Structure formats: C-alpha cells, structure tokens
C-alpha cells in the first residue's frame, strides 16, 4: 500500500493505515470536497458510517481520485436500526452501492445497543460477508468488555478492530489492554477530543512548543506511539494537511508521561451501555 502512513497488521493479516480520515458531521457534498483534499494530502483510509449520510459523497471523491482501489482502505458502519442478520446483509448492500465500491475494507457494528440483544446475530452477518469476500475485515465500535466477551463466546471470528472514544481525557487503559490480549486493534474516535478543549491543555501546548509542532500533531503522535489507529476529522484544508504531517518527529518518554497524567476517564460521547436507539 503506497502511502506516507505506515500500516498496522490486523489479526487476519490485512494491512490498515494507522492514520485515516473521519467524516462524522460532514454533509454529503462537503464530504466529497474534504475526502478529495484528504486523498490529495496522502490519506488512504476513510472512516464513514451509514448514519453520517455521506457515503455517496465519500464514494464520489474516491472514484474521482483515480487512485487504485487496492491502495485505499474504506470503512463504513452498520447503523443500529439495521441490526439483525438479514437486515445487516441488506444494509451492507446499500452502503456498498452508495460508496460505489465492489468490496469494503472494514465493516463495523456502530454501537452494540445491548437492550436490543441483536449484536450477535448482526455479527454473524458480518462473518458471512467476510467469508463471501465482500469485506476484507470485520469489527465493532463502542463495544464494552462484556459485549466483546459475549461475541467471542458465541461467534467464530475475533473482531479485527474495536473503534472507541479515546483521547487524552479518556485513555481507555482497560479496553486497550483487553484488545491487545485478544488481538483486536484499538481505533480511536474523537482522537482530538472533537476539537473541544483537549488542544488547549497547557501540558499539550507546552509539548507542542518544545517540538515546534501543533497541539493536534502532538495528540495524534501520542496515539500513534501508543499503537492506536486514529481517524482525525477536519474540513479545513490546512488542518487536513497538518494532521497527516505527524511522521517526522517523536514524543519522548517525558512527553508521553505528561499526556498519560491527563486521563480523567471523561467521555464526550454517551456510555455505550446506554445507547439503545
């Protein structure tokens, strides 16, 4: 895969760029522009979801890029109301058609929605899509340890990825440890804390000044050095470039310790145990 971003190897041998581009809260037409700018800047992994309403814009940008399909890594997610075996297969077809792709690189269950009690059947549909070669890797998002435990007990394929909220105020030590034990890659959503406050923390600003970098670059570097997959979102061309320009410097142990000390176990988003609609 030719890109300035090094890959991580998923548990089924598939390579995934460690840094990608997220498009949550980007309207469809703007997503087309932003994804085109991201691909131009060197991103090769795009993270969308059925619920974001921008799979078509994302797909148009991918098609217009002229990049070889095998050089791209496209992720989308199954929305909660489509959970269930047959409805998942239908939703996958819809997403793939909107993206204009022949196959997907990674398909995730967006939330476990535990009160529905359908994520096991849903995951079995993902296993079928994987076996049929329609997706290269399958995984989950927002799964808590108890949901992963149940999946492992009742299905055959260990998820390649669990995409969870993760940033300096919510460092997710227990989840990361569990994922590492099980061979599941940890993918950080809202890696920059959704632009709300994290980038103004004095300790992060000080590390940025020390390296002649920006606070966003320091936070992304922290994720990368921890081994997380990151998918920062921006619709600002200069930030799109800034966020991928993170491979020419490294944080030292002192920097990493200072960021470690910022954990407050504080979520910006909802607790996955309580998301059921």
Which residues are annotated as catalytic?
Answer: 52
Tell me which H or E stretch contains 237: helix 237-244
Stretch that binds ligand NAP, among 57-65, 87-95, 120-128, 238-246 (CB under 6 A): 238-246
Instruction: Write the DSSP assignment of 102-168 as a string of letters.
Output: SSEEEEEES---GGG--HHHHHHHHHHHHHTTSEEEEEEES--HHHHHHHHHH-SSPPSEEEEE-BT
- Binding ligand NAP (rule: CB under 6 A), the pick from 5, 8, 10, 23 is 23
- What's the closest the beta carbon of residue 216 comes to ligand NAP, in angstroms? 3
Give the relative orientation of helices 202-211 and 253-260 as an angle to the nearest 10 degrees: 160
For residue 45, list its beta bridge partners.
73
Asked if residue 47 binds ligand NAP (CB under 6 A), the reply is yes
Please select the residue that binds ligand NAP; options are 37, 171, 190, 228, rule is CB under 6 A. Answer: 190
Q: Pick between residue 52 and residue 255 the one whose CB is nearest to ligand NAP.
A: 52
Instruction: Answer yes or no whether residue 204 interacts with ligand NAP by CB under 6 A.
Output: no
Q: How far is the CB of 29 from ligand NAP (least distance, A)?
A: 15
Helical ranges in 138-233 per DSSP H? 145-154, 173-182, 202-211, 215-226
User: What tokens were used for 28?
Assistant: 């469809």
Q: What is the DSSP letter of 106?
A: E
Q: For residue 191, state whether it binds ligand NAP (rule: CB under 6 A).
A: yes
Q: How many residues interact with ligand NAP (rule CB under 6 A)? A: 27
Interface residue with ligand NAP among 12, 156, 209, 236 (CB under 6 A) is: 236
Regarding 241 and contact with ligand NAP (CB under 6 A), the answer is no
Q: Which of 5, 233, 246, 258 binds ligand NAP (CB under 6 A)?
A: 233
């Amino acid at each position: 895969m030719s890109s300035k971003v090094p890959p991580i190897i998923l548990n089924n041998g598939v390579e995934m760029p460690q840094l990608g581009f997220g498009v949550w809260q980007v309207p469809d037409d703007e997503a087309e522009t932003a994804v085109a700018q991201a691909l131009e800047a060197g991103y090769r992994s795009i993270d969308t979801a059925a619920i974001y309403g921008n799979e078509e814009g994302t797909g148009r940008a991918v098609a217009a890029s002229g990049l070889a399909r095998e050089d791209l890594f496209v992720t989308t997610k199954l929305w909660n109301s489509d959970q269930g075996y047959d409805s998942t297969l239908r939703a996958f077809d819809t997403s793939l058609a909107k993206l204009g792709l022949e196959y997907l690189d990674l398909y995730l269950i967006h939330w476990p929605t535990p009160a529905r009690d359908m994520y096991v059947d849903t995951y079995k549909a993902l296993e079928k899509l994987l076996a049929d070669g329609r997706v290269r890797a399958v995984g989950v998002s927002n799964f808590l340890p108890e949901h992963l435990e149940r999946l492992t007990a009742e299905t055959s394929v260990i998820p390649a990825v669990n995409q969870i909220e993760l940033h300096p105020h919510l460092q997710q030590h227990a989840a990361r440890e569990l994922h590492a034990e099980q061979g599941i890659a940890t993918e950080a959503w809202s890696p920059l804390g959704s632009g709300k406050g994290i980038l103004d923390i004095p300790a992060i600003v000080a590390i940025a000044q020390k390296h002649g970098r920006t606070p966003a670059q320091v936070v992304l570097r922290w994720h990368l050095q921890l081994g997380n997959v990151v998918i920062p979102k921006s619709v600002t061309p200069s930030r799109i470039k800034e966020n991928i320009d993170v491979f020419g410097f490294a944080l030292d142990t002192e920097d990493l310790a200072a960021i470690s000390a910022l954990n407050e176990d504080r979520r910006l988003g909802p607790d996955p145990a309580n998301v059921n609609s």
